[in-house]
Amino acid sequence: MNKVLIFTPGFYPAKTYGGPVASISNLIEAFAKEIEFFLITSDHELNDKKCLSGVKRGWNQVGFAKVLYLSDKEMTRKKFEKIIDQISPDCIYLNAIFHKLSTPQFLILARRKKVKCVLAIRGGLCENALQFGRIKKLIYIQFLKIIKGKDVTYHSTSPEETATIRKYMGKKAHIIEVSNIPLLRNPLDLPNKSWKEKGTVRMIFVSRIHPIKNLDYIIDILNNVSSKVQFDIYGPKEKRDYWEKCEAKIQRLPPNIQVHYCGFLDKSVRDEIFKNYDLFVLPTLSENFGHAISEALSEHCNVLISNNTPWNDINNFKAGRAFDLNEKERFSDYIEHIAQMTNEEIVDNRSDIDDYLRSHFNYDCMKNKYFEMLCH
């Protein structure tokens, strides 16, 4: 059985690291019978140093992977080299280009020990993502190009990301383009949706509270919605000053709009939470994949998103809409459209969402590409 060593900045039970955690979790589950996974990750939440509850020193069995939780001080080249020597992996998979404590060290070690190395970009090179700390990131990219060696494979999840990799890492970069593995659910396993009243809409936002996720945009849009709206926000407050900006806008909303911050959405209660909502919203500035979008659809929840994601083909189905952020009226109109749907229409809409998911993914082809990337 092939051995794959993964580094990812955060992993379960951490709750604040966003979509990349789901990317890795779904990958491990998909190949549990073909690949032995070892995973190195942080022992704390994002922007926190307190050790995660429930993890022990040494290797932990988490699902189908052996997971080693390390403090920032433990993330040294010497430590990583010892782990590589113990495991003898066939491939090292790096799940973060901009993790300065780990990515450069693993690139150097993979080159020295002649171990196949795959670097997942995770949307880090798109223009909207680079605008946050651009100068430092560009200097760091040049540093990686110097130390990485010639044999690194880049994992791209879309044609747009492939183009950005060639732009910043070189035209001759070796790239394998394959989408993230989605969470696919059996519709029979899902609880029944709670009753929807015509003239109202129950909206949910699930993401990091960060400018790139653009939460304040949808708050502004709600000023132009006349229907009754319940809008619940889930996610870590990654940028406190940005959340305060959002809070100020929430305070000025009209009385027909009720907004609540609900903290983290634990995956163990996701089904029970999503059954209470009619519409998932994510007006993101940039999205490499959008696991929250995938998960919302798998829960039979319509989605309203920007066109800065790989999900724009949703406009050809009755499963949601993806609009340009300059088209504010279309966002408010779609919210009104969902509000005016009856309970029967929402129930019937489930089959449309299933049709879209089957159209969007070719699961067998996707698995073959991943196996080629990790094991050949």
Where does residue 302 rank: exposed (0-12), middle (13-18), buried (19+ CB within 10 A)? buried
Q: What is the mean pLDDT of residues 136-159?
A: 87
Alpha carbons within 13 angstroms on the beta-carbon side of residue 50 total: 3
Helix (H, G, I), strand (E, B) or coil at 73: helix
For the chain, how long is the longest CA-to-CA vector?
63
Element housing 143 (H / E): helix 134-147
| CA dihedral of residues 226, 230, 234, 240 (deg, nearest 10) | 60
Q: Could you tell me if 208 and 298 are in contact, meaning their C-beta atoms sit under 8 angstroms apart?
A: no
Between 291-298 and 19-30, two packed helices, what is the crossing angle to 10 degrees? 60
Of 207, 357, 179, which is closest to residue 282 (Cα–Cα)? 207
The yes-or-no verdict on residue 278 having pLDDT over 90 is yes
Question: pLDDT value at position 131?
Answer: 83
Q: How remote is the C-alpha of 260 from its chain's centroid? A: 23
**Global model pTM greater than 0.75:** yes
Question: pLDDT value at position 357?
Answer: 86
The yes-or-no verdict on residue 185 having pLDDT over 80 is no
d(CA 192, CA 212): 33
Where does residue 307 rank: exposed (0-12), middle (13-18), buried (19+ CB within 10 A)? middle
Annotate 288-352 with DSSP letters as a single string: SS-HHHHHHHHTT-EEEEESSSTTGGGGGTTTEEEE-TT-HHHHHHHHHHHHT--HHHHHHHHHH
175: confidence class by pLDDT, cuts 50, 70, 90: very high
Helix (H, G, I), strand (E, B) or coil at 187: helix
In the block, which residue shows the tokens 């129950």?
Answer: 202
Give the pairing of strands 2-7 and 91-94.
parallel
The yes-or-no verdict on residue 33 having pLDDT over 90 is yes
Domain 2-181+362-375: CATH superfamily, name plus number: Glycogen Phosphorylase B; (3.40.50.2000)
d(CA 110, CA 148): 9
Residues forming a β-bridge with 117: 92, 152
Question: pLDDT value at position 129?
Answer: 81
Three-class SS of 109-142 = HHHHHCCEEEEECCCCCCHHHHCCCHHHHHHHHH
In this prediction, what percent of the chain has a pLDDT beyond 70? 98
Are both 2-181+362-375 and 187-360 of the same fold?
yes
Least confident of 131-135, 182-186, 233-237: 182-186
Question: pLDDT value at position 189?
Answer: 61
Helix (H, G, I), strand (E, B) or coil at 177: strand
Question: pLDDT value at position 67?
Answer: 98
Of 190, 181, 122, 160, which is closest to residue 312 (Cα–Cα)? 160
CATH level 2 (architecture), domain 187-360? 3-Layer(aba) Sandwich (3.40)
Question: pLDDT value at position 20?
Answer: 86
Is the pLDDT higher at 7 or at 151?
A: 7
Mean pLDDT of the chain: 92
Element housing 50 (H / E): none
Question: What are the extents of the domains in the chain?
Answer: 2-181+362-375, 187-360
Percent of residues in the chain assigned helix, strand, coil, to nearest 5:
40, 20, 40
Helix (H, G, I), strand (E, B) or coil at 22: helix
User: Which residues fall within 8 angstroms of residue 297, CB to CB, at 6 or more apart?
Assistant: 303, 319, 320, 353, 356, 357
pLDDT digits (tens, 9 = 90+) for 115-129: 999 999 988 888 878
